[in-house]
Amino acid sequence: MTTKSVNIWIWLQNGKIIKAISSVDDGTIKIYDENDNLILKRIGLTKFQVKKIENNILKYGAKRLNQHAEPFRFL
Report how far residue 62's alpha carbon sits from residue 60's, in angstroms, rounded to the nearest whole number: 6
Q: Which of 25, 31, 27, 26 is nearest to 62 (CA)?
A: 31
As for how many domains the chain has, the answer is 1
Q: Using one digit for the tens of pLDDT, what is the confidence trace for 28-71?
A: 999 999 898 999 999 999 999 999 999 999 987 888 887 665 55
Decide if 60 is inside a domain: no
User: What are the phi and psi torsion angles at 11 (to 5°)?
Assistant: -155, 165
pLDDT at 69: 59
Decide if 69 is inside a domain: no
Decide if 56 is inside a domain: no
Decide if 38 is inside a domain: yes
Give the domain extent around 6: 1-44
What is the pTM (predicted TM-score) of this model?
A: 0.79
* Continuous segment of H or E residues that includes residue 71: none
The answer to whether 31 touches 73, Cβ cutoff 8 Å, is no
Decide if 68 is inside a domain: no
Decide if 37 is inside a domain: yes
